[in-house]
């Protein structure tokens, strides 16, 4: 694999998004043919199992019930889809600075060299993002990374569902282009595709190798831009002016193995997520006064907690001390937990925090000196150079933590 010298485009695409959102709330439907659109009378979204049966978009619900009685047909729940869509965006912005929300189930982002170095590799970064989305929301996304937006979107389609395709050299790009039919290329519409087919252009590879002067002569400029993008020339910009310091929440989640009944181990897993979320908040100089957190059992049932903090902070000690009692109350005896997560809510730029009457907020800033020194140590010696004692009882060793379990 060739070395990466320039920034990459990431395309993150939900797999049968509406259906996936519904199944996340009803695990009993997993693996079944499911259709969303009961309230509209036609199939708007289908699971892969439903597609394999022959259900197509726009098929009347009465016809589906008659021809495919085994299909589960559900109404829309747009509040759910929007909530998960915003949550996925927040996960992306916690990893990457520039993110474009292209549609309810799609995002583009810029992956910088510093992002790759921090994660360890582009594969590790991509897998971490993909797993966090799945662990937190129970939905799958397919990811594509490449030199241009059109190549990244092409890559994300190649291994659906839950696929990951990274195009880092010309050979990988050419293989992807050969596999992509011309009418599957992003931006090529129903009127343009037949004209290209009549010219012998059947795949994205054919388009890239067709004389550019002929494309310019017979088609409008957008097709020429698509051709150049597919050839690796980046012309489409990321449509995002988002300042990462304007985000209102930061999330961190993780699934761990083996699942555990032990409250100390479960809290240790949550503690690691709190540390990670707070590190990101300090990096952006943001603070929170409200947090929510969850544990998820082996049956994918979520139990959530919520805490109001005494001060605005990005200090994990204050957050952990505040949520500890609430955490104990949401656990159920005999229930095995497999995942935890934390969300720092109501974020505010630290310089905009109003001082309180008794100066407690100023004292809180003084405590952060230790945290900031710790951040510098981790930056120099690695993410696992320092850990809180509360994080050491979990499976940190499996995530690269060199500390022994207590």
The per-residue pLDDT for range 282-312, each reduced to its tens digit, is 888 899 999 999 998 988 788 889 999 988 9
Which among 146, 178, 210 is the end of a domain? 178
pLDDT at residue 366 is higher than 90: no
Q: Residue 263: give the domain boundaries.
A: 244-399
pLDDT for position 283: 85
pTM of the model: 0.65
Helices (H) then strands (E): counts for the chain:
15, 13
Residue range 36-42: average pLDDT? 88
Q: Is residue 209 part of a domain?
A: no
The pair phi, psi for residue 12, each rounded to 5°, is -115, 115
- Structural domain includes residue 239: no
Do 251 and 154 belong to one domain? no
Asked if residue 286 and residue 162 are part of one domain, the reply reads: no
Nearby residues of 81 by Cβ (< 8 Å), 6 or more positions away: 17, 18, 21, 104, 105
Cis, peptide link before residue 161, omega less than 30° from 0: yes
Q: How many domains does the chain have?
A: 2
Please, are residues 281 and 310 in contact by the beta-carbon 8 Å criterion? no
| pLDDT tens-place string over residues 272-282 | 889 888 988 88
Cis? peptide before 258, omega within 30° of 0: yes
Would you call 79 exposed, middle or buried from its count of C-beta atoms within 10 A (0-12, 13-18, 19+)?
exposed
| One domain for residues 134 and 273 | no
Q: For the domain that residue 394 is a member of, what is the CATH number?
A: 3.30.1490.100
Residues 147 and 290 in one domain: no
Q: Does some domain include residue 16?
A: yes
Is 190 contained in some domain? no
* Residue 19, token pair as written in the block: 């259906």
| Co-location of 258 and 159 in the same domain | no
- Residue pair 216/224 in contact (Cβ under 8 Å)? The answer is yes
**Separation CA 94–CA 133 (nearest Å):** 12
Q: How confident is the model at residue 2 (pLDDT cuts 50, 70, 90)?
A: very low
Quick one: 174 and 275 in the same domain?
Answer: no
Q: Is residue 285 part of a domain?
A: yes
389 SS3 class? helix
């Amino acid at each position: 694999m060739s070395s990466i010298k320039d920034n990459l485009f990431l395309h993150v695409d939900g797999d049968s998004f509406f259906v996936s959102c519904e199944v996340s709330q009803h695990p009993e439907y997993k693996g079944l043919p499911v259709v969303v659109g009961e309230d509209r009378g036609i199939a708007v979204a289908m699971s892969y199992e439903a597609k394999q049966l022959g259900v197509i978009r726009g098929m009347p619900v009465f016809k589906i019930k008659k021809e495919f009685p085994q299909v589960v047909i559900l109404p829309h729940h747009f509040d759910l889809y929007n909530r998960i869509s915003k949550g996925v965006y927040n996960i992306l912005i916690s990893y990457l600075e520039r993110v474009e929300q292209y549609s309810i189930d799609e995002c583009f982002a810029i992956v910088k060299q510093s992002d790759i170095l921090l994660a360890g590799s582009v594969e590790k970064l991509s897998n971490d993002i993909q797993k966090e989305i799945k662990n937190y929301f129970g939905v799958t996304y397919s990811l594509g990374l490449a030199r241009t937006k059109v190549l990244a979107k092409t890559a994300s389609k190649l291994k659906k569902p839950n696929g990951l395709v990274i195009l880092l050299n010309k050979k990988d790009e050419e293989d992807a282009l050969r596999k992509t039919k011309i009418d599957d290329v992003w931006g090529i519409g129903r009127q343009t595709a037949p004209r290209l087919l009549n010219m012998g252009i059947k795949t994205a590879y054919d388009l890239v190798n067709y004389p550019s002067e002929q494309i310019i002569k017979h088609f409008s400029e957008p097709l020429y831009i698509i051709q150049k993008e597919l050839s690796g020339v980046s012309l489409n910009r990321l449509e995002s002016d988002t300042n990462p310091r304007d985000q209102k929440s930061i999330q961190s989640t993780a699934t761990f193995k083996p699942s555990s009944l032990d409250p100390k181990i479960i809290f240790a897993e949550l503690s690691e997520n709190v540390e990670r979320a707070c590190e990101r908040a300090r990096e952006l100089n943001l603070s929170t006064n409200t947090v929510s957190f969850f544990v998820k059992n082996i049956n994918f049932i979520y139990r959530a907690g919520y805490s109001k903090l005494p001060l605005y902070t990005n200090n994990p000690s204050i957050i952990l001390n505040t949520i500890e009692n609430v955490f104990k109350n949401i656990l159920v005896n005999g229930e095995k937990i497999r995942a935890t997560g934390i969300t720092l809510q109501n974020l505010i730029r630290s310089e905009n925090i109003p001082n309180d009457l008794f100066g407690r907020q100023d004292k809180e800033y003084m405590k952060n000196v230790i945290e900031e020194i710790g951040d510098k140590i981790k930056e120099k010696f690695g993410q696992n150079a320092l850990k809180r004692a509360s994080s050491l009882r979990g499976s940190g060793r499996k995530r690269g933590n060199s500390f022994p379990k207590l």
